[in-house]
Amino acid sequence: MIKIPHIKVKKVNAQGLIKLIKKHFKNKSIFNKKYEVIEKEENLYFPLNPHLNIKKLALKLKEQIPFKIIFIEGKKRLNYKAQSLEEELENKLPDELLELIPQSYDIIGDIVIVELDQYNSINYPKIVKKKIANAIIKVNKNIKSVYEKQSKITGTYRLRKLKYLAGIKKPQTIHKENHCVFKIDLEKVFFSPRLNHERKRISLRNIKKNELIVDLFAGVGAFSIIIAKNHDVNIYAFDINPFAIKLLEKNIKLNNLKGKIIPIKMNVKNLLNSKDKVSDLLKNNVDRVVMNLPEKSLDHIDVVCHISKKTGCILHNYQFSEKPNSVKKAIDKLQTELHKNRWRLDSIKHAKVVKSYSPKSDMIVIDALIIKSNNE
């Protein structure tokens, strides 16, 4: 039987002990919720968190209340549900593997996508990964499937390889975000839940009624739908992936939108073709452009300049930028590309690091007013 640490205290001193612990350890989990408090004669035995620094606890309580730290067999709570992945995997993985468990993972609808490369070099990685995947399902009541991230985003359609690990083998899901719902097929389209705050932020900007907006790399419509949910606008939503456009069409129907979205399957570089009807319609007529293609957004500034109003257009540009000073470098690169196309960055409304992308680079967002240069 496994013996765990308990703090032994007389019943009459129990309330005083709890008050002291709350005073000195306000934001720390001191007691082990997996086990019950044991009552024996005049004493109570409180089970302690196994990751607690017992020496530090003893020093804080010393000479204030009589107590003892003892190791005894714990009394498990009936129907106890682990509160964390680490807790669920205790005694199921050795300590050296437990230290490697992921601290975060992507939740898309009822699917989890997790990165487990750190286990590739160990013995029997498949068994360990399966245990972790099952534990993820156990501690997240709404999760039905777990997939492992096996590659970076690659290819024209911006997809990544996924490997099924546990639960229901089904890459299709319904994802809810910012009062909108999205049908998603993770094997056929790209979607990142990590940009949910960015999508909300942009949807809450000062967007005017009847604005003409272009979402150059719309995917399943995450940016477009949230904007059209909140504003009476007209959005042209482009994507080169036919599966993304089909899902976007379904997502438009799923959400009660104030604005109108026109989905178009197209390589947006074709907007530079003067014979294209959509190009002719949008040319120098667009009020706002969303560019969520951070790895290649700067390669499409010529398209932005072609469709933007010469008197001013709001650009939401996402790009990867090298550390350090990643925001400044991103702004400089945007200015350079605009200058090549005889446009200029009139003012920056917002610029920040969205997230760290790699040890060497950040993902940056720049909200800027761009204007056609005066000499043109």
Given this model, what pLDDT does residue 143 score? Answer: 97
Residues in the chain: 376
**Residue 80: pLDDT band with limits 50, 70, 90:** confident
CATH code for the structural domain at 193-372: 3.40.50.150
Is the separation of the CB atoms in 300 and 268 below 8 Å? yes
CA 371 – CA 311 distance, rounded (Å) = 6
CA 36 – CA 50 distance, rounded (Å) = 14
Q: Among all chains, which residue has been given the structure tokens 């229901």?
A: 168
Give mean pLDDT, residues 102-129.
93
pTM recorded for the entire structure = 0.83
CA 25 – CA 27 distance, rounded (Å) = 6
pLDDT in tens, 298-351: 999 999 999 999 999 999 999 999 999 999 999 999 999 999 999 999 999 999
* Position 116 pLDDT exceeds 70: yes
Distances (CA, A) of 118 to 95, 112, 129, 166: 14, 17, 10, 18
Is the separation of the CB atoms in 94 and 123 below 8 Å? no
Of 204, 170, 194, the residue nearest 184 (C-alpha): 170
Q: Could you give the count of Cα atoms lying within 13 Å of 95 in the half-sphere of its Cβ?
A: 2
Mean pLDDT of the chain: 93
Given this model, what pLDDT does residue 1 score? Answer: 59
Fold topology of 3-73: Alpha-Beta Plaits (3.30.70)
Handedness of CA 149, 151, 152, 156 (dihedral sign): negative
CA 306 – CA 280 distance, rounded (Å) = 10
Q: Which region holds residue 76: left if phi is over 0, alpha if psi is between -120 and 50, else beta? A: beta
Residue 237 CB coordination number (10 Å):
28
Is the separation of the CB atoms in 75 and 135 below 8 Å? no
Helix (H, G, I), strand (E, B) or coil at 161: coil
Helix (H, G, I), strand (E, B) or coil at 309: coil
Helix (H, G, I), strand (E, B) or coil at 269: helix
Please report, for the chain, the start and end positions of each structural domain, with discontinuous segments joined by +. Answer: 3-73, 85-170, 193-372
Q: Which region holds residue 136: left if phi is over 0, alpha if psi is between -120 and 50, else beta? A: alpha
pLDDT in tens, 258-275: 999 999 999 999 999 878
Given this model, what pLDDT does residue 275 score? Answer: 82
Of 313, 361, 321, the residue nearest 341 (C-alpha): 313
* Position 252 pLDDT exceeds 90: yes
CATH class of the domain defined by 85-170: alpha beta
**Residue 375: pLDDT band with limits 50, 70, 90:** low
pLDDT in tens, 174-206: 999 999 999 999 999 999 999 999 999 999 999
pLDDT in tens, 8-39: 999 998 998 888 888 877 767 788 888 899 99
Handedness of CA 143, 145, 149, 155 (dihedral sign): negative
What residues are paired with 122 via a beta bridge? none
CA 321 – CA 339 distance, rounded (Å) = 19
Tokens of 10: 């007389």
**Residue 62: pLDDT band with limits 50, 70, 90:** confident
